[in-house]
Amino acid sequence: MSNETITVKADIRLLSPEEGGRDGPITGSFRPNHNFFTPDGKEMTIGFVEVPEGQVLNPGESMQVVIRFLNWPGLVGQIYPGRQWHIQEGPALIGIGTVLEVL
């Protein structure tokens, strides 16, 4: 782990449109906001979600991925196996992540 990023293996589930999630899938590198800090979603970090080449993560589905988080103050203490967090596009909740392993 560098001082600039924290890399994890995680399981993420995109919410379906019926659950208030996004309409379209994600592929490649996706950079949503990640909320580990507050339930109202105003303090977030940026994380780069890497969907494996040739794969697609559709709304309503789950996938194990590698995520690189920008290391914001206080984030290190929030990242540990089993920790869940909100994945957001702005204020909109689009998914839930669970840390599987800190790499």
**Contact predicate 100/29, CB 8 Å:** no
Predicted confidence at residue 1, as pLDDT, reads 46
Q: Cα separation of 88 and 43, whole Å?
A: 11
Mean pLDDT (the chain, rounded): 90
Q: Quick: pLDDT tens for 53-96.
A: 999 999 999 999 999 999 888 888 889 999 999 999 988 899 99
How many other CB atoms are found less than 10 A from the CB of residue 49? 22
SS (H, E, C) 10-64: EEEEECCHHHCCCCCCECCEECCEEECCCCCCCCCEEEEEECCCCCCECCCCEEE
CATH topology assigned to domain 5-102: Elongation Factor Tu (Ef-tu); domain 3 (2.40.30)
Q: Quick: pLDDT tens for 16-64.
A: 999 999 999 999 999 999 998 766 656 788 899 999 999 999 999 999 9
Q: Cα separation of 68 and 73, whole Å?
A: 15
